[in-house]
Amino acid sequence: MTTETTPRRAAAAAPPARRSAVRLVPAAAQALIGAGAAAIVGLWWSDTTSVVGAAGWLTDAGRITGLLAGYACAVLLALMARVPLLDHGVGTDRLARWHAMGGRYTVCLASAHVLLIIWGYSLTSHTSVVSQTGTLVLHYPEMLKGTIGFLLLLATGVVSARAARRRMRYETWYHLHFATYLAVFLVFGHQLANGADFVGNRALQLAWYAMYLTIAALLVWFRFVVPVRRTIRHRLRVAAVHPEAPGIVSVYLTGRRLDELTVRPGQFFRWRFLAPGMWWAANPYSLSAPAGSGSLRITVKAVGTHSAALAHLAPGTRVWAEGPYGGFTQARASGDKALLIAGGVGITPLRTLFETLPGEVTLMYRARSARDLALRGELDALAAERGTRVLYALDDAAGPHALPLTARALLRAVPDLTAHDVYLCGPPAMTAAATRALRAAGVARGRIHHESFAF
């Protein structure tokens, strides 16, 4: 089924200079990470005079993998420090993907370091691998803590694997992931006490301390101090809970000085509701309406214990909100035309963009049936007010208005599709199908902007 209104006007696009600056942040961040890795390799090379025999090759390979693993741990923490420049410029989703990929590299590097060092030392001392392992762990300084840290890092990597994540709740995965901090803390002392490149090199030791202390300061400030300060300042509380569709509710919140949050349409917060059974979980939900001077709104579908409990929140419940986070905003746009494709409750951030994006905007909202369309009245009113289009694509619809996610159907709905920026938010299967269809239709990869539901 399709509903639309005829476009009547278009607003001015965002300044090109601002859009260009935002697009430079990911490239600059990647260049900085790469430069750091290159410096680590250069350090290892300059300290390696000659390599003799199998034992030497194994030990030196263990040295470089250990150095890179230590550097990678620092990078992983920096990516998740929620520094606004990175979070808004790169985007929370992309940072999470970088973090996941970096985590795999880190676990592989750390594992290689452990195996190569043990093997190399056992050849040098002419002992068995088992005997050498015991000697290293029990008799080398800081090695027992380093071993515990390595095992914790390995365990975190296992529970973060996609197959494992699908079998646990978001809240469980989120709290288990905090073991990374403890793992890095335990391993840090071992790096300085036993690393051949650090022993006797005071300048390098100070540089390593400076890197880790800077990242620790960023973590403490942006993940703990700033949220606590904002909670005290804004004093958010639940004002009301309204049903929107089967299993979907909107939670309205009030507070003080909410205009100072400087939240952009499309961004999200991590919400901690201080109610029995809910206070320990901080879940990410996007705003489903532009932030007002005295109110905020989120719209949530019951897909788990935490989200289902939101329907029963009592007015007056205190709320801890961390954010705003994410780069799923107008700053991503490279032109003055946009297509928004929402699936299910993925309408929430796109609802705010549909109201606020300048220029020519088309919204395609996909759902199982008409009764599953949340916020439909608001979307129709916005389309009529702005002169923009809203297309409802339902799974139970038939005929020419079924709007399948194919290149042909998208081009029929939006003939100049390649001139549009496309914002996607919905279940993984839908966004993957939409991305394939958009690429087949000729939309440049850089014009497809995605907000993931997955963790």
What H or E segment, with its residue span, contains residue 14?
none
pLDDT digits (tens, 9 = 90+) for 353-399: 999 999 999 999 998 888 889 999 999 999 999 999 999 988 766 55
**Final residue of a domain: which of 205, 230, 255?**
230
Q: How far apart are CA 276 and CA 309, in angstroms?
A: 10
pLDDT digits (tens, 9 = 90+) for 298-325: 999 988 788 889 999 999 999 999 989 9
Is the same domain home to 72 and 221? yes
Strands 448-451 and 421-425 come out as: parallel
Is the same domain home to 315 and 301? yes
Mean pLDDT, the chain, whole residue set: 87
CA atoms within 13 A on the CB side of 419: 9
Q: Which tokens hold the place of 128?
A: 């068995």
Is the same domain home to 161 and 105? yes
Is residue 334 within 8 Å of 421, Cβ to Cβ? yes
Is the same domain home to 297 and 186? no
pLDDT digits (tens, 9 = 90+) for 60-76: 999 999 999 999 999 99
**Final residue of a domain: which of 196, 230, 264?**
230
CA atoms within 13 A on the CB side of 310: 34
Residue 20 is assigned to a structural domain of this protein: no
- Which residue from 305, 308, 275, 79 is spatially nearest to 172, judged by alpha carbons? 305
Q: Which CATH number goes with the domain that contains 247? A: 2.40.30.10
Is residue 266 within 8 Å of 349, Cβ to Cβ? yes
Is the same domain home to 306 and 356? no
Alpha-helix residue ranges (DSSP H) falling in 290-375? 305-309, 347-356
- Whole-prediction pTM: 0.81
Q: How far apart are CA 158 and CA 62, in angstroms?
A: 22
Domain count, the chain: 3
Mapping DSSP onto H, E and C, the string for 177-222 reads CCHHHHHHHHHHHHHHHHCCCCCCCHHHHHHHHHHHHHHHHHHHHH
pLDDT digits (tens, 9 = 90+) for 265-295: 999 999 999 998 888 888 899 999 998 768 8
Q: What local confidence, expressed as pLDDT, does residue 398 receive?
A: 58
Is the same domain home to 246 and 388? no
Q: How far apart are CA 405 and CA 427, in angstroms?
A: 13
Is the same domain home to 75 and 221? yes
Is the same domain home to 276 and 145? no
Is the same domain home to 360 and 403? yes
Residue 7 is assigned to a structural domain of this protein: no
Is residue 195 within 8 Å of 64, Cβ to Cβ? no
Is the same domain home to 379 and 346? yes
Q: How far apart are CA 391 and CA 403, in angstroms?
A: 9
Domain that holds residue 361: 330-451
**Final residue of a domain: which of 302, 325, 348?**
325
Is the same domain home to 147 and 269? no
Is the same domain home to 318 and 334? no
Q: Which tokens hold the place of 195?
A: 């690393």
The per-type count for the chain, helices as H runs and strands as E runs, is: 16, 11
Residue 354 is assigned to a structural domain of this protein: yes
Range in 115-124, 164-173, 312-321, 443-452 the model is least confident about:
164-173
Q: What local confidence, expressed as pLDDT, does residue 34 receive?
A: 95
